[in-house]
Each structure stands twice: as structure tokens, then as C-alpha cells.
Amino acid sequence: MIKEINIENFRCFGTSTFSGFHQVNLIGGKNNVGKTAFLEALHLSHSPQVLTMMQMRGINQEILKAVPEKAWENLFFNQDQTAIVTVRAVNENNVANLLELFTPSKNDLLKIIFNSECVDEQQKLSDLLLHSRDAAFSVLNIVNHETGKHAIPLFSLIAHSEGVWTRTSKIPEYVNFKKIGFVSNLISVTNRSLAEQYDRCFMKGHADKVKDAFKIIDSSIVEVNTLSIGKPAIYLTKENGKTFPMSLYGNSISRIADIIFQLIDNQNGILLIDETESSIHYTKQKALWQMLFDLAVEFNVQIFATTHSSRMQQIFTEIANENGDVGGFFEFTRHIKTHQITSIKYNKGSLEYGK
């Protein structure tokens, strides 16, 4: 379980340290105070898929091709690509995992290109980047450190006018990233993907938990199935025997589905939920949080969620006070003097203040 996170030079974070995390953590605060960026930092530290994270922000390959020299700048604090981004996560055993992102020198770029095992790729990149005066490109290196271990290069990403080339280093067997899921508020999950996730949950014997999650939104749902006629999709049967595709139930069911599927998929891992209240009516939020608390403990999943809603914070407070030391609320804010992002942690006895 993560107990502390230190973030430097990433997005809106200059230097910030957050500690005292629980099994279930809710993060509040005003707009643009770093809540989503904090989840992204966590996601990178355990699943350093930079392009996936950028896609969640609406940055696609075509944008990178149009301005490759600016491809990575928004990952850096104040867009300063001379800095080194670090995300350091410390667990309950004081084992630290450190991820670094940085832009290498031209000499390092040459090493990256010519260390590639793909000769065609070597030739293409050397022609494009090294022998063209007008070539625009930028490079991002991603390196992992673990307490007591050597630094491990993970990826090198080279953005250029034809796209992004990814060089993956050979990662030692002992480098074992914890499973992590991200429920985004910006990207909708496809019906096909949800159907595949349900089938995995069904095969693991957790179909009833999925149905119970759906019943939070509509208590008349009695059966969940997937059908592959045309494109695979989830179908829900109600008490009256009528069956409807899940897509007709609105965004709330899809949101609940994404949350429950990723929670089950990331057993013994981490689940990140951005804007937890999105699409969920306030009358359903208490049942949602009770489910999250119960399943986080059952599946040993650590949850980090964000909210803009004071109502959601109140509901979380009620559930946290009923569940021992499982939950904790953190309010993100900016330090009045340094303007760095910091947090106020409300312990169980002081959670009422957070209302």
C-alpha cells in the first residue's frame, strides 16, 4: 500500500509531498489545484505509459506529429524540459519506487537510435532526424529506480513529423509494477470493452458483484449478460423480464461498470477514479462509496479518487467514520507563500471539518 508520494516538476507540481494514505482515499480541492495531475503521476509511477496518459487528456498522435518539438512539454512544470520529472512512491514497508522523465541530449539520442535492434528503424530515424536541417523532433526518456536496485531504462519516446517511435528497453524480471487502473472522466469506454471486462469478471466468479453494482443505479435489474450479435455489448434484464442493451441506461450505468470492472481487474493493486461524482446522482453516492469501501478491503485494492463536490465529501465522511481506519480525506490547496501544491489531511476525528 502506498503511504507517501513525492512529485517534482510534473505538470502543475513544482515540489510536493503527500503522505498518510489509507486504503480508500478521497481528494478534494478547487479547480486546477492538481487533483487529476496527481492521479496521472500515480498512474505513471506504476504504469509508465506516457502516450496512454496523454490520450486520456485528448492529446493524440496527429497533434504530436503536427508539433513534435512540443510533444512532451506539458508534462513538465512550467513546460521546462531542462528539468527532471520525478514521481517517488513509498509503500508501508518503506520501499520506494522512483520514476524519472527527462529529455536527453543529442548524443544520448544517437545512442538510443543506434542501440535499436531494428535496422530499418535506425535508418529511418537517422535520415529523418540527423540528416535533415528542418527536422523537428523531441525525445523523452523514462527511467525507473527501486530502493537498493540499479536504475532501469524503460522507454525512449521520439516524437517526429511521422509520429512517435517507442524504444522499449529490456526490463529485468525483478522489475514488477503493481497493477493499476484509471477511471477517466474524459474518455468513454466502448461497449465492446465493457462487454469484454464483464466476461472476465464472470469467469472469475464475480458476476453477482457486478449485478449488485448495477442495482445501485436501477434496483429492478435482475440479470446481466453479454451478447455478440453485431458488436459485443452488455444487456440488462429487469424484473418484468424485458432485456435492454446497457447503452440505453445512460452514462451512470457505464460509469458504475467502468469502476466495478477495473476494481475487480486490479485485485491487489491500485484504482484511480477521477471526479467520482460524474454521472452519479447524489442519492446513489452513499451506496457507491459503501461498495467501494467493502470491495477495496475484499480485493485488497488501494483507491485514490477525486471530487469537486462538497456533497460527495460529506457522504464519504459518513462512510469513512463507519469503517474504522479504512478511509481518509485530503484537500489539495496551494501554500500561501510558496504557491506549491500541498494537502490538508482530515483524520477520522476531524472529518466533520471538511464539510
| From 33-47, 144-158, 320-334, the region with the lowest mean pLDDT | 144-158
| Residue 100 located in a structural domain | no
In a domain, residue 90? The reply is: no
320/24 Cα distance (integer angstroms): 9
Q: How many CA atoms lie within 13 A of 319 on its CB side?
A: 23
Q: Which helix (H) or strand (E) holds 296?
A: helix 285-298
Quickly tell me which residue has 535496422 as its cell. Answer: 119
CB atoms within 10 A of CB 8: 18
Strand-pairing partners, residue 345, are: 330
Residue span of the structural domain in which 222 resides: 188-265
What confidence score (pLDDT) does residue 194 get? 95
d(CA 151, CA 354): 41
pTM comes to 0.92
Domain count, the chain: 1
In this structure, is residue 242 part of a structural domain? yes
Position 115 pLDDT exceeds 80: no
Is 198 within a domain?
yes
Compute the average pLDDT of residues 125-153: 74
Instruction: Judge whether 343 lies within some domain.
Output: no
Q: Is residue 321 part of a domain?
A: no
pLDDT score at 107: 67
- Provide the pLDDT confidence category of residue 119 given band limits of 50, 70 and 90: low
Residue 48 lies in a domain: no
**354 or 116: which leads in pLDDT:** 116
Predicted local distance difference test score (pLDDT) of residue 352:
45
The CA distance from 350 to 314, in Å, is: 12
pLDDT value, residue 174:
64
Helix and strand numbers (H, E) in the chain are 10, 16
Residues 22 and 24: their CA atoms lie apart, in Å, by 5
Coil/strand/helix, residue 344: strand
Distance CA 29, CA 19 (A): 17
Residue 202 lies in a domain: yes
